[in-house]
Copies of this chain bind each other. A is one copy, B any other.
Amino acid sequence: MKKIEAIVRSSKFDDVKNALSDIHVDFFTFMEVKGFGKQKTEHIVYRGAVYDVGYIARMKLEIYSTDDAYEEIVKIILNSAKTGEIGDGKVIVTDITEMWSVRLGTKNESAL
């Protein structure tokens, strides 16, 4: 089993979601995160003082997948999240030792 983690632009989230849905990956978990990276951040002006926010809001997706399916998922994310400009984000894959479904009590592939 694999766990795919993708950090993408918030504005690309819907595209990624739709692209995943096209290959029938409808189950995943996501959260809002913040990132420091190469991309320059906005500046804010308040009462005469200028400051950089310093971070950029991003979305992180976590997808649990079988060892067979993960490569396609990674490919789809890389394609759909891409703008080509600095700030597109990263995708990483790690190995899952065990995975369980709470509802079914089943393990690994059968837990998806």
Contacts and interface: CB of A to CB of B under 8 A. Distances in A.
A97 B86 CA distance: 24
A102 B74 contact: no
A99 B103 contact: no
Nearest to A33: B31
A106 to B, nearest CB: 10
* This chain's copy number in the assembly: 3
A103 B84 contact: yes
A12 to B, nearest CB: 9
Contact of A31 (B17, B26, B34): B34
Contact of A96 (B38, B60, B93): B93
A98 B74 contact: yes
Contacts of A91: 99-100, 102
A64 B90 contact: yes
A90 B26 CA distance: 15
Interface of A: 1-3, 6-8, 17, 26-38, 55, 58, 60, 62, 64, 74, 77-78, 81-103, 105, 111
